[in-house]
Amino acid sequence: MKMQLAEIASALNSDLSKGEDTVITSVVFDSRKATDNSLFVPLAGQRDGHEFVANAISHGAKATLWKKGHPNKPESIPVIEVDDPLTALQDLAQYYLNKVNPTVVGITGSNGKTTTKDMIAAVLSKRFNVHKTQANFNNEIGVPVTILEMKPSTEILVLEMGMDRPGQLHHLSSLVKPDVCVITMIGEAHIEFFGTRDKIADAKMEITDFLKADGKFIYNGDEPLLAERAKKIKQSKSTFGFEEDDTVYATEWKSYMHHASFKINNSDEKFTIPMIGKHNVSNAMAAISVGRHFHESDEEIAQALSKFTPTANRMQWKKGDVGEAIMDDVYNSNPTAAKAVLTSFGQVKIKEGGRRIAVLGDMLELGDAAPQLHASLASALDPTIIDEVYLYGPEMKNLADALTTKYSKNNIHYYPQESMDRMIEDLKNDIKQDDIVMLKGSHGMHLEKVLDRLL
């Protein structure tokens, strides 16, 4: 973005203390990330963002938003007073979005949002100027920041949109008014806050609340909860999945160690993605559906998917300290995702004498259902396929107990949360060169520390 402060103040219907001609080229809410010509937004968090204005100034911020009536208003830089800095951030993003006027693709789902976003952006970037969500900036702060980071030349804006409570996607949908909505799937993520998958599906469908009248809704047709709710959507619709009544469905697919390949109905093209697993084939079919909506050829789509770069810590293979292959999937976890990754991991070929070793950390935000949902992972673990299981965290004790009827006690290794160092040492002593290892857990379990020590 590039706007004068006078325009920003006008967009926010606010007064400006001085510096009307000051040019702003970025908007930040983390004072450490302020650069020359930044506008700082003091948000309320564990600490009051107003406390960090001085630090933002020292890093180059040229102006700041300021909550009306808040004491100690700075005098060294221009100040735009607003009723609420977060609302002002969102209002400014909506103003800039309308000004640039790109086509908006919004993506949500219990799993696969980030990977699907990366795939869609890669597919559309072959012919369009595309801006996409970085990392997983997908909430009421991240979405407006993503919008404000796009260049004026942006033609398509690909937004990942997350939620952990009812009404959140309704609000984000009202902010961006998507031209295309994509829902990857419905799982148990955040079930602590919703209670049932039905309520999660209701909340995910909120992304369509402000879908433009001539817009497109693309969703996983193999999910009955979505199919049922999609009947109410009047806009154009298409589905993807593995059933023959889906608009786009896989006719065959195979998963290897570093990639998956598949074919779809009504196409001679063979698609290859640099990720493994049936769930990522599903994500790719969502991207194909979006690409076709924008009149990309299957050949162009296949070329883009074969070379796309996934966001870090999502099923990426790395080489461990003794030469073992490690599947890094430590960013997040929930029961649906964990079962899918375990299945994919179990299909990876290993060298003779090698073993598959799964390291699983607690899955958070599952509420009262956490014990049952952790124990349910036992259905995805087979001692003839995955040889050793390392379990970390208080809730994983439920899975350890559930596995006692399937695994020898010598092949189940359970560690309370305060015992990460012991687990790491045991892993380092256990892992051999020809083994393959997978790491998966919720971000709050910090399995990236285990990964760092194994590399």
| DSSP code per residue over 212-270 | -TT-EEEEETT-HHHHHHHTT--SEEEEEESSTTSSEEEEEEEE-SS-EEEEETT--PE
Which residues, other chains included, contact 444 with Cβ-Cβ below 8 Å and sequence gap of 6+? 362, 364
Model pLDDT for residues 381-424, shown as the tens digit of each residue: 999 999 999 999 999 999 999 999 999 999 999 999 999 999 99
What is the assigned CATH class of domain 316-454?
A: alpha beta
Query: Beta 316-319 vs 23-24: how paired, if at all?
Result: unpaired
**17 — pLDDT class (breaks 50, 70, 90):** confident
What is the structure's pLDDT at 311? Answer: 80
**194 — pLDDT class (breaks 50, 70, 90):** confident
What is the structure's pLDDT at 190? Answer: 66
Among left, alpha and beta (phi > 0; psi -120 to 50; other), residue 43 is beta
Q: What percent of the chain has pLDDT over 70?
A: 98
What is the structure's pLDDT at 45? Answer: 87
| 8 A C-beta contact, residue 125 and residue 292 | no
Beta strand extents in 61-126 (DSSP E only): 61-67, 79-82, 103-108
Q: Enter the DSSP assignment of 44.
A: B
What is the structure's pLDDT at 164? Answer: 85
Four-way CATH pick for 3-82: 3.40.1390.10, 3.90.1640.10, 3.40.50.10170, 3.30.2090.10: 3.40.1390.10
The arrangement of secondary structure in 102-307, i.e. its CATH architecture, is 3-Layer(aba) Sandwich (3.40)
Q: Is the pLDDT of residue 26 over 80?
A: yes
Q: Is the pLDDT of residue 82 over 70?
A: yes
Known binding residues: 109-115
Model pLDDT for residues 364-378, shown as the tens digit of each residue: 988 889 999 999 999
* Type of residue numbered 365: E
Q: Is the pLDDT of residue 146 over 90?
A: yes
What is the structure's pLDDT at 20? Answer: 94
Q: Is the pLDDT of residue 195 over 90?
A: no
C-alpha 196: how far from chain center: 21
CB atoms within 10 A of CB 297: 13
Say which range, 59-63, 187-191, 265-269, has the weakest mean pLDDT: 187-191
Model pLDDT for residues 418-452, shown as the tens digit of each residue: 999 999 999 999 999 999 999 999 999 999 999 99
What ranges do the domains of the chain cover? 3-82, 102-307, 316-454
Q: Is the pLDDT of residue 168 over 70?
A: yes
Query: Beta 248-255 vs 260-264: how paired, if at all?
Result: antiparallel
Known binding residues for ATP: 109-115
Q: Pseudo-torsion of CA 119, 120, 124, 125, nearest 10°?
A: -50
What is the structure's pLDDT at 193? Answer: 73
Say which range, 20-24, 110-114, 145-149, 289-293, has the weakest mean pLDDT: 110-114
Query: Beta 61-67 vs 248-255: how paired, if at all?
Result: unpaired
What is the structure's pLDDT at 295? Answer: 97
Q: Is the pTM for the entire model greater than 0.85?
A: yes
Nearest Cα to Cα of residue 286 among 216, 207, 208, 200: 216
Nearest Cα to Cα of residue 347 among 310, 300, 371, 315: 315
Model pLDDT for residues 270-326, shown as the tens digit of each residue: 999 999 989 999 999 999 999 999 999 999 999 999 999 988 766 789 999 999 999
Mean pLDDT of all residues belonging to the chain:
95
Q: Is the pLDDT of residue 234 over 80?
A: yes
What is the structure's pLDDT at 313? Answer: 62
284: three-class secondary structure by DSSP: helix
Which residues, other chains included, contact 224 with Cβ-Cβ below 8 Å and sequence gap of 6+? none
**Mean pLDDT of all residues in 12-35:** 95
The vertex-293 CA angle with 290 and 297, nearest 5°, equals 90
